[in-house]
Structure 1
């Protein structure tokens, strides 16, 4: 049996192994999900939620174990995994509390003779493929609304975090009917085999390249697909903005999880009148961060997830340097010094649009900063990307905030640090950042078939 190794990015030590799923196992799990789906749907919303709540109570009781495993397996600092766990539970609880409201029949017309109602029915078996950067949260975001809606799941977690995936599967298996939630393990080849099976939907979070391949697969199978893909979120700081608030928010959204967030702020666009001050403040914050082992409670910046991610980040930064970028702080790998997948928090200026650091998605603690003169120029910089997931605007001018928010080509806009990532808000993007939405009523409706029944009274 082929084994999948789990490596601790803080020190390159092997944490454990999981059996890679072979073709027969994948086929069997999809068949099991298929055979159990009708009974799962027939339970009704309330009973499904009750069973899922029991599973999540078990997960809640295992908080210490799961958060420590996340830190060890993918490198998120323990201080962040603890906060992320609680935040993720808030999402789950919102789904549970609002499922009946958004999945119950909706009357669209009624008079004394007839009634028209919209019903939200499960789609069937969903193949859910998720990345490594938030092991627990990605499972909840990608699969829980679908389970509540009555679909059964075959999930493939990233090959970088197989132990987290196994941890989650083992707990859910103890509380849900057999076949309702299943996992397969391995790299992209296992994901490819999964979506070739007799499934009814693909829900994918990850790279745009893989998302496009999966969308083609869904198109050939003529099944639904929800794609939450890459991002290169711009942040714009206008003259007159509250600079302490703006820079604090920028640094948080760039450095969270070592900069490995799909909608994290990845490009900063600053008015020329405050450019020097913003660069100085950002560099000061970046250079003061404590870098170290993800398990250390004092660590603020942990390792990247894997050696391959470090190599990619090094190449992106070196490309910028060779093309004339100025390193204000950082700019170097710390692998040799610290013995893990570490990179210095880095601020770069003198950026041009042909640099990889500007035109590609950058997963790492690196912030390129450009200056602008006019509002239109800022908008053009913001939209100078194939992505359109998140974006951030900082200004005290309310009319400008509204104009710019409408002009930015992205699915989500934060104004002056207001957090749009909430369980009741839709999460998703424009352009190469995918389509479909997670969370809120929007997320529930994405994972259902919509049926209208018009009948006489």
Structure 2
């Protein structure tokens, strides 16, 4: 047996409770985006490795070793895991910051809440009731929630542990087995996490990890006929292909895809609160979130003052080494991402957008993939920069006259994941929220997530929901059970002239 928690920066596969090398013999670099240097190697799974992981997970599910465990015992194990996770949390803060470049303050704030996700779904497993259905006649009809089988959890680089926990917690709480495919760019905290699940008592084979390229390992996992549910977080086009693969085997899918979040600021809002909220929405995580405040809509009567204060706020943000507690903005994930963002900014300026602040690579921040926090203004709402996901520390500030125009601009995108409304008018807040075509709406806040609240989008931002009772139920199928309580069985084929009920 190998050690339960892997301590190096080399990311192996985890199959059947063991850390193992891939059958391909191929590895990929794991890079620290703050320095651009290689910090480890990732085992690149091939189709055979994926097939083995899925079959091991399927065998574990069919054996009933986790599925048939009394729910009280499953909940006890998940709570024990949450305790182990919490005890090891400092190592997770530092490892995630090293691997994906988020400032340690952000990483600490986010990951410290994740044990709560496992405790919440453990509690939900203990308390979620099935339905008793009133039907005609002398019958008792009720439902049972049945786990699906093997779930594929495919996560992205920006929030590796948070995105994983949103689905891993309900998947395990409901009795499923899982195969996890983390981003090839940020596998390290996932590999550490599965070791703790084993220590907590999750049986071997219930949780498995296949590392490697999305186009190889991810594609093989999405297309595997034994997969019963796929959860994917990533780009819309890749999500579409995964949804199509799932449909071919009638697997369920939950897809959290792209976004072009709107931050709507009305002129009755305190200017300082509005500026602070907009900056948080736009630049937390270096803007590498699907719910990023990528479009800031400021009411025209306050637009000049907002631009002035927002520029000053942006220029005050400290860019630097993410392991330094004073750093407020870290690097983007890769050189490729940095160059793509800079190219989008060049096109935006050529298309007529004006630069408010930033706009280039950050000098003096080290050898990593750093960008200045950037805001553009007076961009055409239909332009590329105002319509397409940048996935970097870039936002666009646009004016609006009234509620109707704010709604037209905010809803005028193919995405519909998240938006926020900033106003002191309670009636306006609820009125506007009810007309926004987004799956998540915050009022006088942004980027808030709780395990009890459903998370997901409308339109091309995806389908299905993570977290909440909705996610819990979507990892199960309802079984309808109907009991004849009359003590009689009708002889349908006895022609005795009595009225008989068919349905």
Task: Give the superposition deviation at 1:378.
Answer: 0.9
Q: Does 1:149 align with 2:174?
A: yes
SS in 1 for 2:449: coil
| Segment of structure 1 superposing worse, 45-54 or 342-351 | 45-54
Task: Give the superposition deviation at 1:112.
Answer: 10
For structure 1, the residue ranges without an aligned partner over 5 or more in a row are none
Quote the residue 1:15 is aligned against: 39
Q: Does 1:283 align with 2:307?
A: no
In 2, Cα distance between the equivalents of 1:437 and 1:296?
A: 35
Show CA shifts across 1:65-102 (max 9, x none): 11111111100101111111112222222222222222
1:32 to 56, 59, 66: 56
Quote the residue 2:104 is aligned against: 78
In 2, Cα distance between the equivalents of 1:201 and 1:180?
A: 15
In 1, Cα distance between the equivalents of 2:447 and 2:351?
A: 35
- Counting only pairs closer than 5 Å after superposition, residues 109-188 of structure 1 correspond to structure 2 as 109=134, 113-174=138-199, 175-188=201-214
SS in 1 for 2:42: strand
Show CA shifts across 1:4-45 (max 9, x none): 211000011111112111222211111110011131110032
- Residue 10 to residue 411, structure 1, CA distance change in 2 (3 Å): same
Show CA shifts across 1:331-372 (max 9, x none): 111267621110001111121134322111121111100101
1:259 to 275, 287, 291: 287
Quote the residue 2:348 is aligned against: 320
1:194 to 204, 208, 221: 221
Task: Give the superposition deviation at 1:47.
Answer: 1.4
SS in 1 for 2:294: strand
Show CA shifts across 1:115-153 (max 9, x none): 322211101111111101111111101221011111100
Quote the residue 2:124 is aligned against: 98
More helix per residue: 1
In 1, Cα distance between the equivalents of 2:167 and 2:122?
A: 15
In 2, Cα distance between the equivalents of 1:367 and 1:196?
A: 36
- Counting only pairs closer than 5 Å after superposition, residues 440-455 of structure 1 correspond to structure 2 as 440-455=468-483
Structure with larger Rg: 2
Deviating above 6 A after TM superposition, structure 1's stretches of 4 or more consecutive aligned residues are none
Is the 1:413–1:420 Cα contact (8 Å) retained in structure 2? no
In 2, Cα distance between the equivalents of 1:407 and 1:23?
A: 45
In 2, Cα distance between the equivalents of 1:72 and 1:345?
A: 21
Is the 2:82–2:116 Cα contact (8 Å) retained in structure 1? no
Is the 1:240–1:395 Cα contact (8 Å) retained in structure 2? yes
- Counting only pairs closer than 5 Å after superposition, residues 207-226 of structure 1 correspond to structure 2 as 207-226=235-254
1:302 to 314, 322, 330: 330
SS in 2 for 1:258: helix
Show CA shifts across 1:253-311 (max 9, x none): 21111111111211011111000111122221111011111111111101111112111
Task: Give the superposition deviation at 1:399.
Answer: 2.5
In 1, Cα distance between the equivalents of 2:197 and 2:430?
A: 44
SS in 2 for 1:257: helix
Aligned residue pair count:
456
Q: Does 1:361 align with 2:385?
A: no
| Segment of structure 1 superposing worse, 219-228 or 53-62 | 53-62
- Residue 418 to residue 107, structure 1, CA distance change in 2 (3 Å): farther
In 1, Cα distance between the equivalents of 2:137 and 2:118?
A: 40
Task: Give the superposition deviation at 1:196.
Answer: 2.1
For structure 2, the residue ranges without an aligned partner over 5 or more in a row are 1-24, 486-503
Task: Give the superposition deviation at 1:418.
Answer: 7.0
Quote the residue 2:464 is aligned against: 436
Quote the residue 1:6 is aligned against: 30
